[in-house]
Structure 1
Amino acid sequence: MPLVRLDKILTDTGLCSRSQAREIIRRGRAAVNGTPCADPAAKFDPEAVSLTVDGEPIDGPGHIYIMLNKPAGVLTATRDPRKPTVVDAMPEDWKRRGLFPVGRLDKDTTGLLLLTDDGTFAHKVISPKSHVSKLYEAVVDGTPCEADFAAFREGIVLRDGTQCLPAELIDLGGGRVQVEVFEGKYHQVKRMLGSRQMSVLQLKRLRIGGLWLDGSLAEGEYRRLTPEEIEKIRPDILSK
């Protein structure tokens, strides 16, 4: 890979502007692979450097992939003038890199939500053509019957005539069900259950593809995905 100026590498992390990067480097605050460097024009391979500022590691220019346990009452959006969004709580340097949610969860829906700055990755995850499954658990007012299970397997027709892809409905008992879908229509799970006379009282997403929500994350907490976890989402389509 071509060598790149240090001030450009630092700018590409989203930490600061180009002029701010030059000032940070000239003041001796930056180190490359553990060695201080005060020359903004010094060139390195951006894929092979470990960069720190004031002793703190800085993310390289590669993409960011985040798992968030979304709390209720927060919008799945990058910004909103009146209400909190899932991006608001993210670190400022991640926001500057254009972090955005992959797909959406309704305001009152909780659970697994991915955020990234990688548009290609996001498209592959949410495209109906990719058939990446999403598993939800719901508390409902009602009890499913055999006709409901069959309707989900055949593909629910919503009250407005919208045809859904075949899905899986599982009765957990005690007013709890799980629904696995392979697309992401507007309020889809709530509308599918509602079409079978089951009102949704609570809804949580547990899994996307083969990636499960980390049970150690409290609502509102987040962490970066490992490369292995990214592959679990759907390795055959994400590797293309």
Structure 2
Amino acid sequence: MRIDKLLANMGYGTRKEVKQLLKSGHVRINNQVEKSPKTHVDPEKEDVSVNGEVVEYREFIYLMLNKPGDVVSATEDANDLTVIDILQPEDALFEPFPVGRLDKDTEGLLLITNDGQLAHRLTSPKKDVGKTYFAEIEGKVTEEDVEAFREGVTLDDGYVTKPSDLEIIETGHYSEILLTITEGKFHQVKRMFEAVGKRVTYLKRVSMGDLLLDEHLELGEYRELRDEEIEYLKELTNLDH
């Protein structure tokens, strides 16, 4: 990796500012002054410092966001605020992206990372990673619906969903449920309930596998994943094998 790219990625300024740092002799590689921005460096094997401060290199960032219902799950959008727009600049530097997609009005657990391999595995239908949603439903959810979801329901385009686990928390004119699915078709949860004659009025993702949304995160807040959470996700997708 070029030294100017490394330092820019680690938050030491723009490429232009980093070049000035180098030119001024403030950067050392293995304790030797380095002035060329084109010099390649292996940050995992070589020591890089700026003004005597060791550069702590990290390749990946893993974030858990409690997504609010007014931002889109994208890296950029011409009309709406994105989940990347609400990150702190030092986190956005890593150029992360959302893992999968939540509808704009859907709240809850959204992972954001720049680890493309893990993101791909978490969203691959082949991995059968369960995603659990809490939903408020207009209409009485019944045991017949539970059975229908277990068998797979036919969506408006003729697609038959994979078996899913529907748990009724409360039922009546308005119902509350938990639903676990292992795929992520467009507007899937909403369309599944439409297939049985009901309407989703509120939707929130609460978990991915056994990784739960941190209850201390307010809407729009996020935190880095803990080491054990990252390891769990890698094990869940067999990334270590």
TM-score, normalized by length of structure 2? 0.83
Separation of aligned partners in 1, 2:212 and 2:48: 31
After superposition, the Cα gap between the structure-2 partners of 1:43 and 1:78, relative to the gap in structure 1 and judged at 3 Å, is closer
List alignment gaps of at least 5 residues for structure 1: none
1:202 Cα deviation from its structure 2 partner: 0.6
- Code of the residue aligned with 2:240 in structure 1: it is S
Match of 1:217 in 2: 217
Query: What whole-Å deviation, never above 9, does each CA across 1:155-186 have from its counterpart, x for those lacking one?
Result: 11113211110000000115210000000000
Among 132, 138, 150, the residue aligned to 1:135: 132
Separation of aligned partners in 2, 1:56 and 1:233: 33
- Code of the residue aligned with 2:75 in structure 1: it is T
1:227 Cα deviation from its structure 2 partner: 2.4
Match of 1:190 in 2: 190
Task: Say if 2:161 is the partner of 1:160.
Answer: no
1:17 Cα deviation from its structure 2 partner: 4.5
Match of 1:239 in 2: 240
Query: What whole-Å deviation, never above 9, does each CA across 1:96-135 have from its counterpart, x for those lacking one?
Result: 4322111110010000001111221111111101111100
Aligned length: 235
Q: Which moved more, 1:193-202 or 1:99-108?
A: 193-202
- Checking the alignment, whether the CA contact within 8 Å between 1:140 and 1:202 is kept in structure 2 is yes
Match of 2:85 in 1: 88
- Checking the alignment, whether the CA contact within 8 Å between 1:68 and 1:221 is kept in structure 2 is yes
After superposition, the Cα gap between the structure-2 partners of 1:56 and 1:116, relative to the gap in structure 1 and judged at 3 Å, is farther
Match of 1:106 in 2: 103
- Checking the alignment, whether the CA contact within 8 Å between 2:64 and 2:225 is kept in structure 1 is yes
How well do the aligned residues superpose, as a CA RMSD in angstroms? 3.0
Separation of aligned partners in 1, 2:196 and 2:139: 9
Percent of pairs with identical residues: 40
- Code of the residue aligned with 2:157 in structure 1: it is D
- Checking the alignment, whether the CA contact within 8 Å between 2:164 and 2:179 is kept in structure 1 is yes
Separation of aligned partners in 2, 1:140 and 1:56: 55
Separation of aligned partners in 2, 1:156 and 1:234: 31
Separation of aligned partners in 1, 2:137 and 2:188: 15
After superposition, the Cα gap between the structure-2 partners of 1:5 and 1:138, relative to the gap in structure 1 and judged at 3 Å, is closer
TM-score, normalized by length of structure 1? 0.83
After superposition, the Cα gap between the structure-2 partners of 1:199 and 1:236, relative to the gap in structure 1 and judged at 3 Å, is closer
Task: Say if 2:14 is the partner of 1:13.
Answer: no
Secondary structure of 2:178's match? Answer: strand
